């Protein structure tokens, strides 16, 4: 009710790295130096400010007004205004979190502990904050879309990606998290209460629209799925020109279930032969599609011979149903071959959802919360002994982050005032 009455005002907050608190307080007394510092920071970042749509002004800003934020022990925050379009930008120093009483060092520890899989309650104990405050912080980070934040880091929109849905629970109800992953980065983490094509299409469309807004000519070339009907049909609806592939690793893992009432060693041997078949086909490059059709036929005959005609027939029908998706993977060398990275992302998110009572609140802001978690997944660096030690997912994929400090990066990149 309150939302409809409240006037929606554009969020034009920007977070600026003043490096030391003392520098900030010094600059507060010198308007010219303050503005120069902010300009230098923006220049180094390479971001544009979000002026009003009509503005053609070349970044002309004056210090407009200031107010004291009583909630933050009286830290003064400045607002600056564009002299042309009159848009007002709120400049937050790096040590202040937007609209929050929480100190950024407290938030840093609590978010890192949560990212590491500690329960919401224990994360809150670490920083002497309420679990709800932490929940709301993650939701606040989730106000900016994944597409916007990732493109701010200079990552190109994904031309090939993995799409799949995570099955989860909200209280007793089943819910689904339609997901898009490219390499180490989450591009979409949605939330639906139905597993229908319509529900998934609506969720994935949010990604598509955000992407088209960034780049109107955006086209997807290839998508890998695990073959769940609602996922594949929503992809076909939204990206009709894209090749749809089926994960090869899932195919190998599924084969044993198609072989009924046979001795375990026979089943194992067939699985390993099927594995060899698919991976040899991959290495054949130009010839591999033709080779695959022939080899699948031979393999089904081989199954009939070693495991009986009923199993042989079942495997043949399964091949018929799936082989187009395997061809799609093998004809385009840029197509992802397995959805392993997506499974890893889902597992990482699942641990947090399990630990997070707030998520199971039926009136919680699930979508904002999930997007916030996805930002953490993309921007928190891997631990020191990991393969990509010290780098975050965005950097592993070739993106650039504004500073060496992940929390500051989160604050800057999710600020509403940048274009």
Instruction: Provide the binding-site residues for Zn ion, judged by CB under 5 A.
Output: 51, 55, 57, 82, 84-85
**Closer residue to Zn ion in complex, CB, 49/244:** 49
How far is C-alpha 371 from the geometric centre of its chain's CA atoms?
7
Cα 256 to Cα 260: distance, rounded to the nearest angstrom: 8
**Closer residue to Zn ion in complex, CB, 27/82:** 82
CB 231 within 8 A of CB 207: no
Q: How far is the CB of 149 from Zn ion (least distance, A)?
A: 23
**Closer residue to Zn ion in complex, CB, 58/216:** 58
CB 55 within 8 A of CB 85: yes
Dihedrals phi, psi of 97, to nearest 5 degrees: -95, 140
Question: Tokens 């397995």 sit at which residue?
Answer: 338
**Closer residue to Zn ion in complex, CB, 23/83:** 83
Q: How far is the CB of 96 from Zn ion (least distance, A)?
A: 24
Cα 309 to Cα 306: distance, rounded to the nearest angstrom: 9
Cα 11 to Cα 117: distance, rounded to the nearest angstrom: 31
Q: Which of 93, 85, 33, 26 is nearest to 61 (CA)?
A: 85
**Closer residue to Zn ion in complex, CB, 11/338:** 11
Q: How far is the CB of 53 from Zn ion (least distance, A)?
A: 10
Q: How far is the CB of 233 from Zn ion (least distance, A)?
A: 44
- Complete DSSP assignment for 240-309: TTSEEEE-HHHHHHHHHHH--S--HHHHHHHHHHHHHHHHHHHHTGGGHHHHHHHHHHHHHHHHHHHH-H
Which run of H or of E encompasses 211? helix 197-214
- Complete DSSP assignment for 394-416: HHHTT---SSS-HHHHHHHHT-T
**Closer residue to Zn ion in complex, CB, 83/272:** 83
How many beta carbons lie within 10 A of that of residue 262, not counting itself?
A: 15
**Closer residue to Zn ion in complex, CB, 12/136:** 12
Q: Which of 135, 137, 178, 183 is nearest to 157 (CA)?
A: 183
**Closer residue to Zn ion in complex, CB, 38/82:** 82
Cα 120 to Cα 215: distance, rounded to the nearest angstrom: 37
Q: How far is the CB of 135 from Zn ion (least distance, A)?
A: 35
Q: Which of 226, 181, 230 is nearest to 322 (CA)?
A: 226
**Closer residue to Zn ion in complex, CB, 87/155:** 87
Q: How far is the CB of 47 from Zn ion (least distance, A)?
A: 15
């Amino acid at each position: 009710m309150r939302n409809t009455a409240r006037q929606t005002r554009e969020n034009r907050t920007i977070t600026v790295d003043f490096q030391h608190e003392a520098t900030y307080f010094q600059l507060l007394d010198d308007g010219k130096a303050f503005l120069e510092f902010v300009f230098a920071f923006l220049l180094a970042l390479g971001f544009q400010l979000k002026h009003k749509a009509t503005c053609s002004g070349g970044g002309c800003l004056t210090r407009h007004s200031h107010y004291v934020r009583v909630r933050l022990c009286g830290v003064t925050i400045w607002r600056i205004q564009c002299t042309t379009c009159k848009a007002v930008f709120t400049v937050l120093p790096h040590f202040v979190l937007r609209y929050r009483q929480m100190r950024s060092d407290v938030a840093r520890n609590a978010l890192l502990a949560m990212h590491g899989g500690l329960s919401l309650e224990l994360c809150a104990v670490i920083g002497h904050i309420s679990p709800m405050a932490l929940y709301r912080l993650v939701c606040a980070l989730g106000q900016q879309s994944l597409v916007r934040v990732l493109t701010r880091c200079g990552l190109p929109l994904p031309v090939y990606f993995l799409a799949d849905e995570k099955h989860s629970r909200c209280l007793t109800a089943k819910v689904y998290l339609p997901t898009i992953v490219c390499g180490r980065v989450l591009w979409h983490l949605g939330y639906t209460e139905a597993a229908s094509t319509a529900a998934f299409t609506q969720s994935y469309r949010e990604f598509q629209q955000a992407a088209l807004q960034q780049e109107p000519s955006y086209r997807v070339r290839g998508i890998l799925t695990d073959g769940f009907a609602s996922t594949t049909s929503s992809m076909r609806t939204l990206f009709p020109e894209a090749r749809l592939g089926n994960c090869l690793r899932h195919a190998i893992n599924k084969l044993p279930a198609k072989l009924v009432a046979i001795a375990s060693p026979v089943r194992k041997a067939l699985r390993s032969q099927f594995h060899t078949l698919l991976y040899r086909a991959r290495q054949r490059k130009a010839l591999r599609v033709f080779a695959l059709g022939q080899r699948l036929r031979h393999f089904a005959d081989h199954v009939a011979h070693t495991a009986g005609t009923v199993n042989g027939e079942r495997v043949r029908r399964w091949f018929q149903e799936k082989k187009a998706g395997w061809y799609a993977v093998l004809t385009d060398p840029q197509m992802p071959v397995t959805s392993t990275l997506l499974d890893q992302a889902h597992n990482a998110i699942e641990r947090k959802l399990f630990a997070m009572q707030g998520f199971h609140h039926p009136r919680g802001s699930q979508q904002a919360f999930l997007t916030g978690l996805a930002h953490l997944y993309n921007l928190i660096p891997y631990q020191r002994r990991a393969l990509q030690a010290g780098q975050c997912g965005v950097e592993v994929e070739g993106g650039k982050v504004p500073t060496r400090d992940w929390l500051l990066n989160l604050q800057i990149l999710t600020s509403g005032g940048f274009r």
